[in-house]
Structure 1
Amino acid sequence: MHALRVLTIATLSFATAALAGCGDDEPRNENKSCSVQAQTGCESGQVCEEVEGAEPACFAPVSFKGIVTNALDDKPIQGARIVARDANDAAVSPVAISAADGTYTLAVPARRDSAGKPVAAKLTLRADASGYQTFPLAPRIALPIDVDTAAGSPPVVQTAATDIALVPLPNASGLGSIAGTVVADAGLDLVPAGALVIAGGSTGIVDFKGNFVVFNVPANASVDVQAYAAGLQITPKTVAVEAGKQTENVELRISSAATADVSGKLSIVNGNGNSVTSVVLALEDTFVENAARGEVPKGLRVGNVTGDFVFNDVPDGKYVVLAAFENDGLVRDPDTSIGGTQIVHIEVAGQNITLAEGFKVTGSLATVSPGKDAIEEVTGTPTFVWADDSSEDMYELRVFDAFGVLVWEDLAVPSVSGSKDVTVQYGGEALTPGMIYQFRATSMKDGVPISQTEDLRGVFVAR
């Protein structure tokens, strides 16, 4: 069941910048001042937490406990790095390292109410390990873990949501890793926690203390190490990477605040009653062209978009602009014969950018099964079901694995009538047990695509 439980976690904003957190029903050392930022002033085994309407106080920390396993064989993974993030993908915890049996314990921040109880908030987890694909990575999404559900003394959250299954890379030979820190130049009060570090196409996350590790970097005498987060201009560095070894003590410096704006507009046509969407900037070096997805750095998302949008404080770099990427009943119009439907690539170099052409967004084909709202387990030969598009004359169906590799397609699915659901049985080679897959359906009219299922739905795990 671990592969299913991987998709635990999504996000809600969490205001505290605490190092760890949550605890007993009653605060400790109330009369003694403590520092949330520096984590000083508390007895051993306690942490300083923010308190609603009062000064910070000391508590027993809240922890997430779980296990990290191989999605294909359910075996434990040792040495995985797990970090908690808030709604803006900022890291709010130190890193937990999974033990030989795959288990981990991660202290997380927990703002308290006046009675000392954790305030409701949701955090997400990110996990990285040598030889494994990062979690979460589209189309696998992270679902929320509720901090205020912690129980016991000290308080712990340990549910299916805290177990993580990682998909092994097809070939992990010839790979090394890079470890280092991100620090700000003198006089700059800028925090790097949550920045996305990329090297050789692989990524890592900067934790609450400014540390990072990027696993699975192809060995090369010259590898560029770069970090991205809204508001931060981080100077890249070039290092050598050897297979099977870790390049240590790589220091990336925040040289200034990023100030560039990227603006544009979109129009929602035939949105099936949906009139609000989001736009993201994905790093071009992480973009998978055939699956149209990539990793989005901290802060490079604009929500509640109905027309005009603007990204503020975008750091220098190459990005892919993705509209309606998240689940909201809308998709980027797939009809490439009209304007506003192309995937847009941009390069920011300190300048403001206004996109020349607006995006056209339309209502999506409704996914029925598998993976309507969350990842589903599928045994044997799966059957794909989606709602009919009354305007179509046929459909195209594609199935991708977790790495964005096309594993099967049927480009001539006949239309249906009477507003029935469309049902197609998988006809490719046997699926790999434990592997994550996604199906995508596209409705066609006179040889032109007119709508499709959403970018992050239709996800399933084979059994």
Structure 2
Amino acid sequence: MSRSRLGFALVVGPLVALAGCGDEEVRRGDEGCSVLEQTGCASGLACEEVEDGEPACFTPLVVRGRVLDAGTAAGVAGAHVIARDANSAAVSRVAVSGPDGGYALQVAAKRDREGRPVVASVTLRADAAGYQSFPRAPRVALPLDLATATGKPLAIESVATEILLLELEDVAGLGTVSGTVAARAPGGTLVTAGGATGVADFDGAFTVFNVPAGSHEVRGYAEGLRLASARVAVDAGRVTSGVVLSSLGEARAAVSGKVSIVDAPGGSETSVILVPVETFDASAKRGEAPRGLRVGGVRGGFVIEGVPDGTYKVLAAFENDGLVRDPDTSIGGTAIVEITVADADVSLSESFKVTEALAVIRPGAERMDEVQGTPEFVWADDSSEGRYEIQVFDAYGNLVWEDPNLPSVSGNAEVKVTYGGPPLEPGMIYQFRATSMSKGQNATPLSQTEDLRGVFLYR
């Protein structure tokens, strides 16, 4: 982490124009500027990191888009939008959508010497009262490359900045919790309250929508932060404000273990994430990973450092990498592990078994597809299977249809299955999951489609 990210005021040279940037993008300052505190720049300019140089002041880069109701395509007013980097750390404050769902989000963007944004991937998160947060597995946010910003001032507006939110099934009895994470570098802290979540911005400000009425413990999770929780009383239709999650010092615990990759292409690697139990959906086996509580490039042993106190589910091969957790729970190393961290290291005694996934062909092979009529689900054949099972979930994690007795195929590279459940709801997002089963009466699972593929929007 650079010194500017930690809030040091860094002094740069005298006021000069940056070559190639035009009159409106300048570097300033006898007094210097701070990236974290956003001080030291003239009005309308933002302090940004500079590649191979000291932080300087620039015309801000803005991400523009709309937040829409997935069912009606109407704009969602009052939605909170924030940008996060690859580690889920916040790289913006919060933008609030207008009456038509439109928003303009100023995003921190590291620059080169000419003032152009360097290649950097960010994703967007959106939350609103009465709607499911985005992204939420199996839905993923499309990455935005800040280097693709154009215009003057620099801006990004694309299909990836149009965010579809799903209206909650039941909004009665829900309230809102807002407050501050009072710690160093709080941006991106995942805040939980009554099963709902929010995320803190640059300044530590957070809002958690759709919290059930009642008494709840508010907790914050982020790599390196130990935060005190806060007990709050939530009333339906009201905002419980002024909640403070104060720092208890640095989180130093490490979670370590081993992943065993079997029956998969050579040289494969995967990732491991920690998911707070209050965000975990047991039926769909998914949850939210806080900032930094992830390790990638895992081929064997792994360590996740700076883990805050809490109880977590440990998920391996959750992301799209051609691998899945071995679904055969009759053997060791395949069950989902739960751990509790209490300011001390945790070492997992048994390795995770990971295997090659069943490749999704359609829908949802690479991103969320739109589907009309009666869906057909297609995936790659597993040559050693005795039969297949298929399940279809809606975006809330509800199982809407399953068929556990699909016959095996022979001589085919693809398995094709036509949906046979109740009518699908237009505007709803669904995911299909296929599992290959071994032969014989006591069949066991062999492999599955990946956790985040097979997602589609029904029109």
TM-score range for the pair, normalised by the shorter chain length: over 0.9
Amino acid at match of 1:103: G
Instruction: Name the CA distance, whole Å, in 2 between partners of 1:31 and 1:308.
Output: 47
Deviations 1:230-261 (A, max 9, x none): 11110001010000000010111011111111
Amino acid at match of 2:301: D
Q: What's 1:133 paired with?
A: 132
Corresponding position: 1:430 with 2:429: no
Deviations 1:351-398 (A, max 9, x none): 211112111111111111000011100011100000110110100000
Give the Å deviation of 1:198. Answer: 0.2
Greater Cα shift, 355-364 or 29-38: 29-38
Give the Å deviation of 1:23. Answer: 12
Q: What's 2:189 paired with?
A: 195
Q: What's 1:7 paired with?
A: none
Corresponding position: 1:264 with 2:263: no
Amino acid at match of 1:453: T
Q: What's 1:449 paired with?
A: 445
Does the CA-based 8 Å contact 1:14-1:86 persist in structure 2? no
Instruction: Name the CA distance, whole Å, in 2 between partners of 1:150 and 1:436.
Output: 30
Give the Å deviation of 1:183. Answer: 0.6
Q: What's 2:54 paired with?
A: 55
Q: What's 1:168 paired with?
A: 167
Amino acid at match of 1:449: P
Q: What's 2:89 paired with?
A: 90
Equivalent of residue 286 in structure 1, options 279, 284, 287: 279
Task: Identify unmatched segments of 5+ residues in structure 2.
Answer: 8-17
Instruction: Name the CA distance, whole Å, in 1 between partners of 2:2 and 2:81.
Output: 18
Q: Determine helix, strand or coil for the equivalent of 2:160.
A: helix
Corresponding position: 1:43 with 2:36: no
Q: Determine helix, strand or coil for the equivalent of 1:161.
A: helix
Instruction: Name the CA distance, whole Å, in 2 between partners of 1:454 and 1:127.
Output: 24
Does the CA-based 8 Å contact 2:109-2:146 persist in structure 1? yes
Corresponding position: 1:210 with 2:204: yes
Give the Å deviation of 1:64. Answer: 0.3
Corresponding position: 1:329 with 2:332: no
After TM superposition, list the pairs within 5 Å mapping 1:107-126 onto structure 2.
107-126=106-125
Deviations 1:31-83 (A, max 9, x none): 54333232222222111222223332222111000000100111110110001
After TM superposition, list the pairs within 5 Å mapping 1:170-249 onto structure 2.
170-184=169-183, 190-220=184-214, 222-249=215-242
Instruction: Name the CA distance, whole Å, in 2 between partners of 1:448 and 1:88.
Output: 36
Instruction: Name the CA distance, whole Å, in 2 between partners of 1:393 and 1:270.
Output: 17
Does the CA-based 8 Å contact 1:124-1:142 persist in structure 2? yes
Instruction: Name the CA distance, whole Å, in 1 between partners of 2:347 and 2:148.
Output: 44
Instruction: Name the CA distance, whole Å, in 1 between partners of 2:377 and 2:19.
Output: 45
> 1:250/1:92 Cα in 2 relative to 1: closer, same or farther (>3 Å)?
same
> 1:16/1:163 Cα in 2 relative to 1: closer, same or farther (>3 Å)?
farther
Q: Determine helix, strand or coil for the equivalent of 2:425.
A: coil
Give the Å deviation of 1:290. Answer: 1.6
Deviations 1:82-106 (A, max 9, x none): 0111111001111000001110000
Does the CA-based 8 Å contact 1:196-1:229 persist in structure 2? yes
Equivalent of residue 289 in structure 2, options 278, 291, 296: 296
Equivalent of residue 21 in structure 2, options 22, 25, 31: 25
Q: Determine helix, strand or coil for the equivalent of 1:285.
A: helix
Larger RCO, structure (CA 8 Å, separation 6 or more): 1
Q: Determine helix, strand or coil for the equivalent of 2:278.
A: helix
Greater Cα shift, 239-248 or 411-420: 411-420
Amino acid at match of 1:155: L
Greater Cα shift, 118-127 or 30-39: 30-39
Corresponding position: 1:376 with 2:369: yes
Amino acid at match of 1:115: E
Instruction: Name the CA distance, whole Å, in 1 between partners of 2:43 and 2:268.
Output: 52
Give the Å deviation of 1:215. Answer: 0.3
Instruction: Name the CA distance, whole Å, in 2 between partners of 1:240 and 1:23.
Output: 55
Q: What's 2:379 paired with?
A: 386
Greater Cα shift, 441-450 or 272-281: 272-281
Greater Cα shift, 442-451 or 273-282: 273-282
Instruction: Name the CA distance, whole Å, in 1 between partners of 2:108 and 2:4.
Output: 7
Deviations 1:297-355 (A, max 9, x none): 11111111111111112111110011111111111111111111111111111221111
Does the CA-based 8 Å contact 1:91-1:194 persist in structure 2? yes
Instruction: Name the CA distance, whole Å, in 2 between partners of 1:310 and 1:280.
Output: 10
Q: Determine helix, strand or coil for the equivalent of 1:350.
A: coil
Does the CA-based 8 Å contact 2:137-2:287 persist in structure 1? yes
Give the Å deviation of 1:114. Answer: 1.2
Instruction: Name the CA distance, whole Å, in 1 between partners of 2:78 and 2:444.
Output: 48
Percent of pairs with identical residues: 56
Give the Å deviation of 1:279. Answer: 0.7
Does the CA-based 8 Å contact 2:381-2:415 persist in structure 1? yes
Does the CA-based 8 Å contact 2:358-2:381 persist in structure 1? yes
Give the Å deviation of 1:419. Answer: 3.6
Length-normalised TM-score, structure 2? 0.93
Greater Cα shift, 367-376 or 111-120: 111-120
Q: What's 2:356 paired with?
A: 363
Task: Number of aligned residue pairs: give it.
Answer: 443
Greater Cα shift, 231-240 or 44-53: 44-53
CA RMSD of aligned residues (A): 1.9
Q: What's 1:255 paired with?
A: 248
Instruction: Name the CA distance, whole Å, in 1 between partners of 2:320 and 2:61.
Output: 31
> 1:14/1:158 Cα in 2 relative to 1: closer, same or farther (>3 Å)?
farther
Amino acid at match of 2:65: G
> 1:219/1:136 Cα in 2 relative to 1: closer, same or farther (>3 Å)?
same
Instruction: Name the CA distance, whole Å, in 1 between partners of 2:400 and 2:225.
Output: 39
Amino acid at match of 1:191: A
Q: What's 2:303 paired with?
A: 310
Give the Å deviation of 1:181. Answer: 0.2
Corresponding position: 1:341 with 2:334: yes
